[in-house]
Structure 1
Amino acid sequence: MNDGDEQLLRGRVYGHDHDDPNPGPLPHQTYAALVGGPLDGLLLDITGWRPEDIEDGVALMTELSRWPGGRALYDPQPGEPRTSGPSVSCRFYYSGDTP
């Protein structure tokens, strides 16, 4: 990934296109910040997720992973504090790629 790619990702919500007129977070939604890996800097909308869903982590489709069209794996850190309500409530950390 080059510097231009990184700039397109910062502050954007996963699943929104870079040319979306409003790719950023909405004030009434809850997000996990993605840390490291190909999706570093993106936010993942976790509004309505149960705590056990958050604990499971995610496999997110991306063309930027080791395998284009594969998935980047992100997991929460055990014991890391979380907030409730709208805004960024937790962080998911990159743990690898899968085809």
Structure 2
Amino acid sequence: MNSDEQLLRGRVYGHDHDDPNPGPLAHRTYATLIGGPLDGLLLDVTDWQPEESDGVVALSTELGRWPGGRALYDPRPEELRTPGHGAMRRFYYSGDTP
């Protein structure tokens, strides 16, 4: 695992690596990002409606194929959401876009 990967593990997407509390909060709900440039990050989906977490999400990143572009992640339909707080589902890397 390289240093960029180590910085990302267990951290919430959108929080800086030097944030005093970059990890998940007990009262929030997260999707785990699998693969690609944001592998290991958690995406806060607490306030999302169910239909919002069923499609592709495009997340800004400097680590993808196009710096300043977006990494695309989507859930697998066969994987059900787990109700409650914590990691409720996984989103898998499907590509990059400028």
Q: CA deviation at 1:18?
A: 0.2
Question: What residue number does 2:80 align with?
Answer: 81
2:6 and 2:48 mapped to 1: Cα distance? 28
1:18 and 1:66 mapped to 2: Cα distance? 21
Question: What residue number does 1:20 align with?
Answer: 19
- Pairing 1:3–2:20 present: no
Question: What residue number does 1:50 align with?
Answer: 49
Structure 2: give runs of 5+ residues left out of the alignment.
none
1:48 and 1:76 mapped to 2: Cα distance? 17
Please, what TM-score do these two structures have when normalized by structure 2?
Answer: 0.97
- In the alignment of these two chains, the number of paired residues is 98
1:86 and 1:78 mapped to 2: Cα distance? 20
Q: In structure 2, the residue corresponding to 1:71 is in which secondary structure?
A: strand
Structure 1: give runs of 5+ residues left out of the alignment.
none
- Pairing 1:39–2:38 present: yes
Q: Which residue type is aligned with residue 73 of structure 2?
A: Y
CA displacement 1:6-27 (0-9 Å, x = unmatched)? 0000000000000000000000
1:89 and 1:57 mapped to 2: Cα distance? 16
Q: Which residue type is aligned with residue 56 of structure 1?
A: G
Please, what TM-score do these two structures have when normalized by structure 1?
Answer: 0.96
1:57 and 1:21 mapped to 2: Cα distance? 30
Structure 1 outlier segments of 4+, above 6 Å: none
